[in-house]
Structure 1
């Protein structure tokens, strides 16, 4: 019995040593994210497109956004990397059957930009790319066509990726065109809503610039 106890004790000690020397398979990533510069930023986009699951598209010619990023470092994966505190779309936007639309966004509470993974040397600008999502999206879309008036709410999350700015070159970009997540369409009111689906995707490419230091785009490293 004493020999068996000594063997079990030795095995337990060895296992403990391995556990201390090797990161737990269940532990989440601990590497911090850095955002430089932190603080306020703004974003501008050309054409953005909201496409429902029936294939209907509402296209806006331009969009503008603003938000803020926290002071680094930020821990966790996923981690909240920024808030979007205002976002607007030119009016009117255009849709099927010669329809025109207005998008009214709701940013209280703010929309949230989350990072899931970071890849050095990836992305459009080859200086690093963060993939993640934009959460807490909320907007009301209203318009009218030959089918009649229609108003509906859009909420949820979309997949996004941020390409770091290249050194001395292009600015950073926030891209939502990759798909992977869908928005929910609800509270449809009006005869023109008969063709509107129940889910939607959103595609847009925003050029991001820091307002804290002038024009440089923030650099995100995870």
Structure 2
């Protein structure tokens, strides 16, 4: 009986130690600070729209503009910014020697879901979220014929806070598992176009008031 009690006590102590050592769940932020708020611009190099069939449309550059609301922003998730304009250079290129033009319908929205201090590209904090309300018309032609379609929905995104000097705050839409829905396919060239697509772009975000990248902190 003594040995059995000793074993049970030891097992119980080990289980308690594991429970104490396990990290506790971290609640999503309910308050967000954005510094500075107001108007911002975003610039990206190559962006890519890749459908579920593997067809990729690449644009050499993209530019965006938007506004961030006055802090603090409450909510979980929370709307952290509106993208009021976004453009892609033309022509963009795709499979079968195709060329494309992308026309957007703003505003798109940047939402924050989670925040990790000390994370991200610059180890100064990273916000995980989504770009929502995406709405774009993609039109072009190839040896297969003309094609136009709509891409809409939301994609996962991460905002990496800038360095301590305020440079290189970036919004990255690569990865994350969310895809846009492709609809309204018109034209013979659309025969190879899929039903969904990912969007990958890395935008450097700069406040128009300060010339530096905004800092986002969730708590």
- TM-score scaled by length of structure 1: 0.85
Work out whether residues 35 and 221 of structure 1, in 8 Å CA contact, stay in contact via their aligned partners in 2. yes
Q: Distance in 2 between matches of 1:142 and 1:88?
A: 14
Structure 1 segments of 4 or more deviating over 6 A?
A: none
Q: Mind listing any 5+ residue stretches in structure 2 that lack a counterpart?
A: 1-26
Q: 114-123 vs 176-185, which deviates more?
A: 176-185
Count of residues in correspondence between the two structures: 192
SS in 2 for 1:192: helix
Aligned: 1:116 with 2:116: no
Cα distance per residue 1:172-216 (max 9 Å; x no partner): 000001231010000000000000000000000000000022x11
Cα distance per residue 1:45-76 (max 9 Å; x no partner): 00000000000000000000000000000011
**Partner residue of 1:40?**
39
Q: 165-174 vs 123-132, which deviates more?
A: 165-174
Aligned: 1:135 with 2:124: no
- Which of residues 203, 213, 218 in structure 2 aligns to 1:206? 203
Work out whether residues 37 and 218 of structure 1, in 8 Å CA contact, stay in contact via their aligned partners in 2. yes
**Partner residue of 1:11?**
none
**Partner residue of 1:187?**
184
Tell me how large the CA RMSD over aligned residues is.
1.1
What pairs up with 1:27-106 in 2 under 5 angstroms?
Answer: 31-106=30-105
Aligned: 1:216 with 2:212: yes
Q: Distance in 1 between matches of 2:177 and 2:36?
A: 29
Deviation for aligned residue 1:29: 5.3
SS in 2 for 1:88: strand
- TM-score scaled by length of structure 2: 0.86
Q: Mind listing any 5+ residue stretches in structure 1 that lack a counterpart?
A: 1-27
What pairs up with 1:14-33 in 2 under 5 angstroms?
Answer: 31-33=30-32
**Partner residue of 1:7?**
none
